[in-house]
Structure 1
């Protein structure tokens, strides 16, 4: 019977044996008695023999492979250690038991100084290494300042690299992620509206609707770029407007109300028809107390020459503003006198009444007029002194208007206090200096209103009292300077009025004297302002394709779902209010990208919409005023109609978004659905952290300090229970107090506090970030399976950390102290630094993601946090 064949691990014969080698008996005996010793002896014998070429090559390859394997293990262990350290999950040093085999078997116990490179989870296999992913990763890393502690200074951590590498462009007071994307969008628009060269011009044929629209866009843009022609024209475009204002006002010099009514009404109506503000403002919007879709007349206080009330009390700013208005009045008087002299020489036989201008200008009269005693030749104040006196009176007049106006926190945060429906006849009687039927007839509304909604119950009465106590020449100069401040940016840069206005802007925003923004970018902005939806038609064709709308909409609807789910767990909201809030969230109309209705977006509808805009080459100011007049006509045509559910308040290329309470809609133009806010190709943790915050912010506005007072139909009413309202108010007050403790530098060595009441609604909107986080988490598994949570190369951060980093980086911004001060006084949004750190302060998930120690600045104890959702 044959013996059993030995197992392969005991077999000693090679597959290819050397015929010259014969195994001796002693070798056989040693092999049989001690396999391990025989193996060592065999290796020893091999090493004593000379190596052939093949053996040498194999030996070198083995050594190289061994070194590469060691390097790979070391790198992998280091990466794992850093990743664990960053996420706060570094494994502790372990005591490892190892068994060493030798001729005398022993067990040794060692404690290494570093953990063994054994991962606690499988190494990531879904790392995107395409060129786009590498660029995206580099962009994120380049914005970071990793020397900062995210638990203490998250804004600087997320944006320090960006802040170090960017400067505020010439002629601006601020620059950030929003402005940077807007600049990129302008570059795209610029390529679309730059006039085509003759070689690329379309063949001669009947122009299409798109051709008609592009011709107007290009004509407006070209007229803006022609600076030489603007300088040649000088103040002429402004003079054309001033002439009409003064003609309508007719140089009235009395204070009698009856004599003021028609002249003042005509002058104000004319300015308003050109989009130039003054004294008051009318808007057309839904009647939120009765029917939010019934477009009704609203009466507002006016914008002021200075950005905020506070500036009128600061002597240095007030002095500069007075100088600006004086320069305007002097420039206008000088050119008027020059024109009068020329016309007088040309028409010596013409009666004075036919000489332009047909009114006394300057309003202070001739220098050599008789004095009160009838004596001639006694020199009066020169025209410069008189202009300064008049400018001082105009500034004081505006100061009175400012004091009569509502504080911005009341205007923005109190929708109940600013809803005051009043019979139109009663309103008109409170302001007898204006003939409102005559005013409305200037705009030819289809329905004369019987009711007007006042945002202030006192402003009309106060305005009447101010007008009654003010000389007509001051009111006239006020109207003239309002026109000048509006038209000044459209004039040539060599004109005195442009220069005076620019000096004021430089002071208010801290811009270096003489710096101006890029002319092409500025002109694109003027084209967008004037004909934004015409620009938008071509912009979305160029940039908004693929899955952008669908994926952007999914982010929004996921956040709505997360918000509704969170309502079930709020201890301050009872079941009845929670159900109503969920119904409102379901009813919100979501608009993404651009209007969808063919009636508003087709080539024909766009061309028809802007048909009334008359564009003439090289007449930039007149072109802009023509567009403004067209907008005013369209605005007033809405009075008495039903709201158009497809209408938009922002044009598609705009980098912004909004919530409209009466329409209960959130709107996201295509302009903001681009990096660094959104890309259809990004991993979802970035998309929900960046654009997700924008979406959650607008959704949360529907439930902020003002938005919560509108029900799901956009009607103003108390639809929460009293108990829920009180619970919300407690948290609202907490947030207001939190942000009121934040300060900015005033540029003069002092500190100015953020107005927590003014910014209350926007701060609450920012708390929506937690809903974006929950929405991302809820879809994570499905997204992971679909490949939507892939990692980026070189980013040593967890996906949770990258979610918050993406959020922080969209608020990168550099701002000059003067511009920051203006923002704190006028903007309902908090400074960007506090929009970031004030938000994560109230989100425990942030501190957990970065493993922040207890009582770190951004990991406060629960009793100090203001948590709404």
Structure 2
């Protein structure tokens, strides 16, 4: 659309002087004295209606014009407005530079302007999100997102809110409309009807807070009783210490297996993935370190956070113990440590337990206490004292586990170091307190594994030592607390245990105490976690329509082609390595939208993905437990089998995407293929700038610091030449240093540096944006002929600039300091501001598009750029 030109006020009247012509008032006066005919009355009524409509539209147009003009500088006579930027330097002088963007083609070309309602809405969303007062060459993140950030403060119940979160909420609202339906199933119901009824029942049981509060904490208590019974039941005491140790090892094994069967991370984790070093499509167990109660090892060194965490543990243990004592007998044990096989004949046996205390006894241990050779009986403890002691000792136990684990940058960035195959029988020697063959047999009933991949062997050895020096009651408390922290959120919000658990969540995310979000929104997320593929089937039918998949796939394949074309132009990559990289890029499987066609009616295929778990409308806690158990069974059922090449790891409604190295696949759920990332009717420069950035990111993961170590078949091996590997490492080091220099505010007056080593893989993934730009450019001529490069109204930016604006705007995000610190410590992604500005500072095409002066923040000298691609 041609811009409205700025004209000076008229200096001469356009009409004759009033004394020389009849006035409008005199005409009205005369007309009022004449009688009105019927036709005159009709005509007058029509005129009045037209006047009212005209005034309304003029008012609307004036308001829109005011909004558009207020978001940019007034035109100075050129075809496009200039952006005046004032920069203040340390020498206290000011310098003014003028950026005059040059469009790819004149926006005044009438046939290129889109004036449909969709185009107006899209243009308006872009304009209102910008902050044109910011120099895009100095802070493009704020330039592209300042308006959106002002209009979207962080909700009180969240620690973070950005474009990803906003779209997730929109998706949840769509899903909510699909869930809020009748759950009645007739005899003639088909697979979809049965599945939809299960979804509706689960959602209904979650939103019925009155019922949840009435049920109380009984569901969680059943789990704690189960694990306590497995761990504390006293075997018949044999004469030999070694046999006694074997019996207790069996109980520890049973307790750990039970926790893992209900999807609780405790002591260690085991997942099922391809054997990356041998056959990536043959599925084996992967042994790794567990999740932490405080999420990251750094938190265990912070006095304030540890104090809150200890308090939460105290309260949880007190409530759980109090309820246990009132509802069921509880066998309490001595404080003897858990010993390994080598020490069993030298240390006090750790199965010497006291008999159950009576309900009137409120002391620990009960009297008389069997000392088993101790010269003095242990001191008696009342319940409060015991809970306080246990809370401190559990925190100390977890701190030691955290310190024993590998740093996250090793786990995320070095697949060679984390590939350590062991024969199953050898694991018990590393961790003698656990009978691994028995543990694995409880899951792998039909396909017992003879090989396990250990991500970090030193952790096994350290865990054995930690357990050997930890008392049995602390181990029990740790297991009980892992159940509490995993499942307390599924209780009613009026239960004491729910409120205790909420306190820790609020602390780590900087949320105002008592600020709880919409229950329906949260319940949709629970349904997605439990039955995500079932819900995703109906979500896709509702949202992923028309040629969305076809056009989205074209963006991805264009980027793959552009990437392959660029390989031989890289100065650090030789021809043989470039050919191998092109082969891998060609072999990548591209999955878009959903794992199963929404039009599928085959009952067996639908059941395969969706409809196995049973749902009881009256027991939300039990439903979530059943779903967790069912998902664990499904995962273990794949053990020893070939990879299902059609399987997905993310639900169709998820706002995310991923690259799976052993499977050599990139996956884009339908949930992320919606505005502000993608729409099938968008102009190409927007689609490639927003969704193309996501696609290029996932593709580039196949060649980042970790992904590059997997060959085209997904197997770990050195498939680049030494010289190429060295060239890559040099540029990787440059990127790591660049991002390590960035800092965030810790909320306490200090600064925390980004861990450039931890985030290097994701930063390299973000650098793939240049491939999306090249892909867009390579198809531009054809796209222009097809009318897919049309101009949006009111946007005085070139198509190239809008490409980068589309990229920048998907990363808009507000975050509280506490949540930002948590992300720095646990997330392999850099903070969003640096994902934008850090990425663009390495892309010369960006500086060219915005005509950034040399030396500006996002146009550094060539020698300071970390150019990889």
Q: Same fold (TM over 0.5)?
A: yes
Please give the per-residue CA displacement for 1:819-851, whole angstroms capped at 9, x wherever unaligned: 000000000000000000000000011111111
Q: Which residue of 2 aligns with 1:247?
A: 229
Distance (Å, rounded) in 1 between the aligned partners of 2:538 and 2:308: 42
Pair 1:305–1:510, CA change in 2 (3 A): same
Q: Provide the C-alpha distance between the structure 2 equivalents of 1:466 and 1:478, rounded to a whole number of angstroms.
A: 13
1:485 aligns to what?
485
Q: CA–CA distance in 1 between the matches of 2:234 and 2:653?
A: 46
Q: Unaligned 5+ residue runs, structure 2?
A: 1-19, 23-68, 86-99, 236-240, 331-354
Paired with 2:389 and 2:683, the residues of 1 have a C-alpha distance of 63
Bigger mean CA deviation after superposition, 744-753 or 187-196 = 187-196
**Out of 188, 204, 213, which is 1:231 matched to?**
213
- Tell me if the contact between 2:740 and 2:753 (Cα under 8 Å) persists in the aligned partners: yes
Partners of 2:357 and 2:525 lie apart in 1 by 38
Contact 2:537 2:598 (8 Å CA) reproduced: no
Shift of 1:361: 9.7
The answer for the alignment partner of 2:327 in structure 1 is: 339
- For the residue of structure 1 that corresponds to 2:149, the secondary structure is helix
Aligned to 1:787: 787
Q: Could you list the per-position Cα deviations for residues 651-693 of structure 1 after superposition, in whole angstroms to 9, with x for gaps in the alignment?
A: 1000000000000000000000000000000000000000000
Corresponding residue of 2:299: 311
Alignment of 1:107-256 (within 5 A): 123-125=108-110, 126-196=112-182, 204-250=186-232
- After TM superposition, give the deviation of residue 584 of structure 1 in Å: 0.5
- The Cα of 1:194 is off from its aligned counterpart by 1.0
Residue in structure 1 matched with residue 516 of structure 2 by the alignment: 516
1:325 pairs with 2:310: no
8 Å CA contact 1:597–1:646 kept in 2: the answer is no
Q: 1:461 to 1:785 in 2, by over 3 A?
A: same
Q: Deviations over 1:264-284 (max 9, x none)?
A: 111111111111110011111
Distance 2:678 2:713 in 1: 30
Tell me the equivalent position of 1:297. 285
**Aligned equivalents of 1:87, 1:123: Cα separation in 2:** 23
| 2:13 counterpart residue number | none
Q: What does residue 551 of structure 1 align with? A: 551
How far off its partner does 1:195 sit?
2.8
Offset of residue 724 of structure 1: 0.4
Contact 1:364/1:386 (<8 A) preserved: no
Deviation at 1:383, TM superposition (A): 1.4
SS at match of 1:81: coil
Cα distance between partner residues in 2 of 1:222 and 1:535? 14
Give SS of 1:791's match: coil
Task: Write the mapping of 1:751-766 to structure 2, written as runs, cut at 5 A.
Answer: 751-766=751-766
Structure 1 stretch 456-465 or stretch 410-419: which is displaced more?
456-465
3-state SS, counterpart of residue 297 of structure 1: strand
Aligned-partner Cα distance in 2 for 1:369–1:80: 95
> Quick one: distance in 2 between partners of 1:650 and 1:747?
34
Q: Which moved more, 1:313-322 or 1:823-832?
A: 313-322
Other-structure match for 1:281: 269
1:436 Cα offset (Å): 1.7
Aligned to 1:660: 660
Shift of 1:428: 2.1
Q: How does 1:454-493 map to 2 (within 5 A)?
A: 454-493=454-493
Aligned equivalent of 1:99 = none
Mark the CA change 1:155 to 1:601 in structure 2 (over 3 Å): closer, same or farther. farther
How far apart are 1:444 and its partner, in Å?
3.6
Could you tell me whether the CA contact under 8 Å between 1:813 and 1:832 is conserved in 2? yes
> Separation in 2 of the partners of 1:548 and 1:453?
40
Q: Equivalent residue for 2:62?
A: none
Deviations 1:166-213 (A, max 9, x none): 11123111010001001000001111111339xxx78x4422111110
In structure 1, how many angstroms separate the alpha carbons of the residues matched to 2:175 and 2:576? 49
Q: Distance in 2 between matches of 1:445 and 1:739?
A: 47
Equivalent of 2:82 in 73, 81, 85: 85
Distance across 2 between alignment mates of 1:396 and 1:697? 40
Alignment CA distance shift 1:690-1:361 (3 Å): farther
Alpha-carbon distance in 1 for matches of 2:798, 2:512: 43
Q: Which residue pairs with 2:257 in the alignment?
A: 269
CA separation in 2, counterparts of 1:635 and 1:279?
A: 20
Q: CA RMSD in A?
A: 3.1
Alpha-carbon separation, structure 2, partners of 1:701 and 1:623: 37
C-alpha separation in 2, matches of 1:292 and 1:229: 47
User: Which residue of the partner structure matches residue 88 of structure 2?
Assistant: none
May I ask how many residue pairs the two structures share in their alignment?
A: 753
Query: Deviations 1:225-272 (Å, cap 9, x if unpaired)?
Result: 111121112110111101110111125699974343111111111111
Equivalences for residues 327-476 of structure 1 within 5 A: 327-340=315-328, 365-366=363-364, 369=367, 380-476=380-476
Change (3 A) 1:261 1:780: same
Q: Secondary structure at the match of 1:726?
A: helix
* Matched residue SS, 1:747: coil
* 2:33 aligned partner: none
Residue matched to 1:857: 857
In the TM superposition, residue 385 of structure 1 has moved relative to its aligned partner by: 2.2
Give the conservation status (yes or no) of the 8 Å contact 2:541–2:598.
Answer: no
1:24-35 to 2 correspondence within 5 Å? none
Q: 1:579 to 1:372 in 2, by over 3 A?
A: closer
Residue by residue over 1:90-146, the C-alpha shift from the partner in whole angstroms, topping out at 9 and shown as x without a partner, is xxxxxxxxxxxxxxxxxxxxxxxxx9xxx9968322111111111110000010011
How far is the alpha carbon of 1:598 from its aligned partner? Answer: 9.3
Aligned 8 A contact 1:257 1:432 in 2: no
Counterpart-to-counterpart distance in 2, 1:776 and 1:736: 28
Provide the C-alpha distance between the structure 1 equivalents of 2:381 and 2:109, rounded to a whole number of angstroms: 83
Contact kept in structure 1, 2:286 and 2:453, CA below 8 Å:
yes
User: C-alpha distance in 1, partners of 2:622/2:573?
Assistant: 55
C-alpha distance in structure 2 between counterparts of 1:737 and 1:188, whole Å: 43
Give me the whole-angstrom Cα distance separating, in 2, the residues matched to 1:696 and 1:846.
Answer: 16
Gap change, CA 1:121 and 1:236, over 3 Å in 2 = closer
User: Cα 1:359–1:277, aligned 2, differ >3 Å: closer, same or farther?
Assistant: farther
The equivalent residue for 1:8 is none
- Distance of 1:791 and 1:699 partners within structure 2: 29
Deviations 1:283-332 (A, max 9, x none): 11111111111111111111111110001111111111111111111001
Change (3 A) 1:667 1:611: closer
Q: Secondary structure at the match of 2:576?
A: helix
Matches within 5 A, 1:702-721: 702-721=702-721
- Name the structure 1 match of 2:845: 845
Tell me if structure 1 keeps the 8 A contact 2:75–2:81.
Answer: no
TM-score by length of 2: 0.83
Shift in CA distance, 418/371, structure 1 to aligned 2, threshold 3 Å: closer
Shift of 1:549: 0.3
Deviations for 1:136-170, whole angstroms, at most 9, x for unmatched residues? 10000010011111011111100000110111123
Query: Does the Cα contact within 8 Å between 2:363 and 2:381 map onto a contact in 1?
Result: no
DSSP 3-state at the match of 2:824: helix
Residue number among 245, 255, 260 corresponding to 2:248 in the alignment: 260
1:84 deviates by 6.2
Stretch moving more, 314-323 or 646-655: 314-323
What's the TM-score, normalizing by structure 1?
Answer: 0.83
Where structure 1 has 5 or more consecutive residues not aligned to the other structure, the ranges are 1-49, 53-74, 89-114, 343-357
Deviations 1:442-482 (A, max 9, x none): 22442111111110121111111111111111111100000
Judge conservation of contact 1:697–1:766 (CA < 8 Å) in 2. yes
Report the more deviating stretch, 793-802 or 251-260: 251-260
